[in-house]
Chains A and B, each alone.
Chain A
Amino acid sequence: MSLLIEQPGLFTTLQDLGRPGYAHFGVTTSGAVDRSAHIAANRAIGNPASAATLELTLGGLVASLSEGRWMSLTGAPAPVTVDGEPVTSRAFWLPAGSTLSVGTPHAGMRSYLAIDGGFVAPPVLGSVSWDSLAQIGTPPLLSGQRVAVGPSSQGSPVAAPARVHAVTPVVDFRWGPRHNVFEQADLALFATQKWRVSTETNRVGVRLEGATLASRHGSLPSEGAVVGSIQVPPSGEPIVFLADHPVTGGYPIIGVVAEAQLWQLAQATPGMGLRFMPVVD
């Protein structure tokens, strides 16, 4: 059975938990940018966390199923209708031939659509995820495309609390590895500034604006970087690395966003403010 994509929306890709363990070959983990929303979508209908979901950037999907199945939508809260009837619960039944429509979210960037049994595609290095930087995995979905669906998992749905999308989120981060190449004044500026999300935001990263930071080294020899790294290029405007980030980089990394808070960056819309709060063990 399959999901027929009538309209894919702005940018809709298949995502799972990505392909960890290949960074030394230059392959980043990729996977759902908002991992916690991806996992919550799967949990809501009893799928394992690794089942592939559709990652919708700013909604806009219209699709139908060849057989009825349970589905769920998490992440950026977007209006869902089935044959024009509003759906208010996170998990819902989509009958065969009915039209599912996901509108534009009223907060956040990315919504996750899961289906009982998971979406299925040929894996690349163990994952179906589209890596937008390396251009590997399952390419972005197109109108008229059919996405295969796996056998029903017969799992038990687990409820999860809905998230609150703050207007000006405070994002926990950990200093380093290269905060020592910045002056104290710039470290203080980073942690007190109200940063603004720029229009340059995608699966690779989010550029922030509102102030500029100067490091003592414009660049360093390239070194490995983790997801959530806050890199400061010579322009001084920080870039936060998301799922498809380059595995190495040559600009100093002032800090790394706490993993539990990465969803705030994944869902941050251009123009939105945010602050960073250092954490220590």
Chain B
Amino acid sequence: MPHLLRAGDRGWLLELDSSGIAHGVAARIRASSWAESLEDVVPASTTILVTVRSRDDVARVGTALETLDVSASLAAGNSRIIEIPVRYDGADLDGLAASTGLSVNAIAELHSSVDHVVAFFGFAPGFAYIDGTPGLLQVPRRDTPRTSTPVGGVAIAGGQTVIYPGGTPGGWTIIGTTDFVAWDVSADPPARLDVGDTIRFVRL
């Protein structure tokens, strides 16, 4: 049974019991008979923010969300597999090697050997938080964020990987570089990744 928290005049925050099902539940919400009342559906790790266009619909949608079937069978994401080529040449690679005791080669092998999954978007347009960092590579954010990050910087923190669009501040450990463009405002849809996509980082 999902837990429903109020998020302003026109919003609900749906709290899920388990991680890994948010994108499946969000897809079910978007496919519901009441989806036309919705403005935004924003899945994150264990929550989904749902906003309605009109305040008149907030109670009705809240009731529908409370009775939503969020059983594990809905957890399946989409079946897309996207390969992202990475040069493991990041500025923080040597520091990560020193702190983990792993070789640079082993870090690259570890990161590129496992399937990742797009968990949610945030921070900037098309900026995907990608779950799946192997345990040995799970490091906290840097104490002092960089004031600017490189274009296509592939960076890790906690259990996630991100690709920096370039120019923004950022506190994650940069392990590599990619030419993969995750966001193109002239494309439809502008985001090349979607929540639930399986990501394979391919070592160059």
Most chain B CB atoms below 10 A, which of A24, A175, A225, A229? A24
A249 vs B5: C-alpha distance in the bound complex, in angstroms?
16
Chain A residues within an 8 Å CB radius of B123: 26, 246, 248
Chain B residues within an 8 Å CB radius of A222: 44-45, 120, 122, 129
> Which residues in window 45-75 of B have CB below 8 A to A?
45-49, 51, 53, 55
Chain A residues within an 8 Å CB radius of B40: 20-24, 224
* B104 interfacial contact with A, CB 8 Å: no
Chain B residues within an 8 Å CB radius of A23: 40, 42, 49
* A259 interfacial contact with B, CB 8 Å: yes
Q: Given A25-B126, A125-B185, A125-B190, does the pair A224, B42 have CB atoms closer than 8 Å?
A: yes
Scan B115-147; emit 1 where CB is below 8 A from any A CB, else 0. Answer: 000001111111111000000000000000000
Chain A residues within an 8 Å CB radius of B77: none
Closest CB of chain B to A200's CB: distance in Å? 15
Contact for B49 among A26, A134, A176, A224, CB less than 8 A: A224
> Which residues in window 82-121 of B have CB below 8 A to A?
120-121
Chain B residues within an 8 Å CB radius of A124: 185
Would you call B9 and A248 a contact (CB within 8 A)? no
Contact for B195 among A24, A125, A246, CB less than 8 A: A24
Would you call B9 and A25 a contact (CB within 8 A)? no
Scan B185-201; emit 1 where CB is below 8 A from any A CB, else 0. Answer: 10001110001000000
* B28 interfacial contact with A, CB 8 Å: no
Closest to A24 in B: B42
Chain A residues within an 8 Å CB radius of B122: 26, 222, 246-249
Would you call B8 and A223 a contact (CB within 8 A)? no
Would you call B41 and A26 a contact (CB within 8 A)? no
Q: Given A25-B191, A176-B6, does the pair A223, B39 have CB atoms closer than 8 Å?
A: no
Would you call A248 and B6 a contact (CB within 8 A)? no
Would you call A26 and B189 a contact (CB within 8 A)? no
* B76 interfacial contact with A, CB 8 Å: no
Chain A residues within an 8 Å CB radius of B126: 25-27
* B20 interfacial contact with A, CB 8 Å: no
Closest CB of chain B to A115's CB: distance in Å? 27
Would you call B51 and A25 a contact (CB within 8 A)? no
Closest to A249 in B: B122
Closest CB of chain B to A279's CB: distance in Å? 9
Closest to A260 in B: B9
> Which residues in window 8-52 of B have CB below 8 A to A?
8-11, 13, 26, 39-49, 51
* A214 interfacial contact with B, CB 8 Å: no
Would you call A24 and B41 a contact (CB within 8 A)? yes
A246 vs B129: C-alpha distance in the bound complex, in angstroms?
14
Chain B residues within an 8 Å CB radius of A177: 5-7, 13
Contact for A226 among B10, B46, B55, B124, CB less than 8 A: B10
Would you call B45 and A26 a contact (CB within 8 A)? no
> Which residues in window 139-181 of B have CB below 8 A to A?
none
Chain B residues within an 8 Å CB radius of A133: 124
Would you call B11 and A26 a contact (CB within 8 A)? no
Chain B residues within an 8 Å CB radius of A176: 5-7, 13
Closest CB of chain B to A254's CB: distance in Å? 12
Would you call B191 and A223 a contact (CB within 8 A)? no
Q: Given A20-B39, A225-B49, does the pair A26, B44 have CB atoms closer than 8 Å?
A: no
Chain A residues within an 8 Å CB radius of B121: 24-26, 247-248
* A258 interfacial contact with B, CB 8 Å: yes
Contact for A27 among B53, B125, B129, CB less than 8 A: B125
Would you call A224 and B47 a contact (CB within 8 A)? yes
* A136 interfacial contact with B, CB 8 Å: yes
A227 vs B44: C-alpha distance in the bound complex, in angstroms?
17
Chain B residues within an 8 Å CB radius of A228: 8
Would you call B51 and A223 a contact (CB within 8 A)? no
A221 vs B189: C-alpha distance in the bound complex, in angstroms?
27
Q: What are 24 A-B residue pairs whose CB atoms fall within 8 Å in the complex?
A: A21-B39, A22-B125, A24-B121, A25-B126, A26-B191, A27-B190, A134-B124, A136-B125, A174-B9, A177-B6, A177-B7, A178-B5, A221-B45, A223-B44, A223-B47, A224-B47, A224-B49, A226-B7, A229-B7, A246-B123, A247-B42, A248-B122, A256-B7, A256-B11
